[in-house]
Each structure stands twice: as structure tokens, then as C-alpha cells.
Amino acid sequence: MEKTHLKHKHGAPKILNYSVLIVSDTRYLEIEEGKKSTDMTIPVIKEILEKNKQNFISFQIVPDENLKIKEVLLQLIKDKTDIIITSGGTGISKRDITIETIKPLFEKTLEGFGELFRYLSFKEIGSSAMLSRASAGIINNRIIFCLPGSPNAVKLALEHLIIPEAGHIKKMMKE
């Protein structure tokens, strides 16, 4: 790593607060029916954050509905969270509207995140990685990462992109 890049990481916060927003009609219906959620991404996120000594603050599950996604996201932004991870709704089906809902709210977009995520995904799963519209940006000094609803995708993003750079991003937002 270049010395100039290391200089920018110096003084970056090491421990951050994470909240998770699961976007899924299926998982939301389970909750509404009083069933236990079968979501597999939340346990993966909790385990990785714990292993990396990061704070898991909260999670919520919402349907693939524009107003509900926006309502919960804006509430999470008001909470004491540094990073919000959304999982689900980043594909290309008609119900996948997470990106259309959240991206217009970004004050700044981290274009490189989606590019790197798809590159790393391509190395794991091949050309179907191009179907992901994973994205990231800043809203009101909160870092938002919009990820696919796959536990493997969440693991890849957290371990290789988000956790290694989150403190650096947070520091850079203050400069």
C-alpha cells in the first residue's frame, strides 16, 4: 500500500456502528405472519462484525416497497449508526427497487464500490455478477451500502470492501 494512502487511513475510526435493512417481500411476509424469519444474511453480518470488533446496532425487514424502504432508511439515518447495509432488491426483476429508491437520496455516490463488488463477484460466480446493481453512497454523514440478498454476496462485500475501508470513508467525510 502506498504511504500516501496509509496517511489517509491514520486516525480513521476503528470501530463503527452498523445497522441492517433487509429488503424482501418473502422475509417481510414471514414476520407479518408471526413466523421466524428464514433470512440467512443477518447471522452472517452479525458474525463478521463480531469477528472484526464492530458494533451491530439493529436490523429491520421491509417489503420491496418504495415508501417503506425510504421510511425505514430515513429512520436509521437519524439513529446512532455510521453504516447502513441494505440486503436485497438490487437485481433486475420488477420488484427489485432498492437502488431506484435509495440512490436518488445519495449526496455522494461511491461508484468504485459497485465496480469492485462486481469484479470480486465475477471472480467467484462468473458472468452473472453483471446482474447485480450493488451500490454505495453517503446520506447525511451515513455510509449506505446496497447489497444483493445473498449471504455470500454480503460476506464478500463486508470482508473485502466494507470493513477494510469503512473507517477511512468515515474519516474522509469529515475532512
Looking up cell 422475509 gives 27
Show the cell assigned to 97: 427497487
Torsion of CA 36, 39, 44, 46, to 10 degrees: -50
Q: Is a pLDDT exceeding 80 seen at residue 31?
A: yes
Q: Is a pLDDT exceeding 60 seen at residue 1?
A: no
What is the number of other CB atoms lying within 10 angstroms of the CB of residue 124?
Answer: 10
Q: Is a pLDDT exceeding 70 seen at residue 30?
A: yes
Closest by CA to 90, choosing from 130, 146, 154, 39, is 146
| Strand bridging mode 83-87 / 108-109 | unpaired
Q: Per CATH, which fold does 18-174 belong to?
A: Molybdenum Cofactor Biosythetic Enzyme; Chain A (3.40.980)
What is d(CA 137, CA 35) in angstroms, rounded to the nearest whole number?
33
What is d(CA 131, CA 74) in angstroms, rounded to the nearest whole number?
27
Q: What is the mean pLDDT of residues 57-67?
A: 97
- Say what the pLDDT of residue 8 is: 56
pTM of the entire structure?
0.93
H/E segment holding residue 152: helix 151-157
Cβ partners under 8 Å of residue 154, min gap 6: 41, 44, 45, 85, 87, 147, 148
Looking up cell 407479518 gives 32
The DSSP bridge partners found for residue 144 are 84, 137
- Say what the pLDDT of residue 165 is: 96
Q: Is a pLDDT exceeding 60 seen at residue 2?
A: no
What is d(CA 125, CA 122) in angstroms, rounded to the nearest whole number?
5
pLDDT tens per residue, range 111-155: 999 999 999 999 999 999 999 999 999 999 999 999 999 999 999
Q: What is the mean pLDDT of residues 87-94?
A: 95
Looking up cell 455522494 gives 108
Confidence class for position 163, pLDDT limits 50, 70, 90: very high
- Say what the pLDDT of residue 124 is: 96
Looking up cell 462468473 gives 126
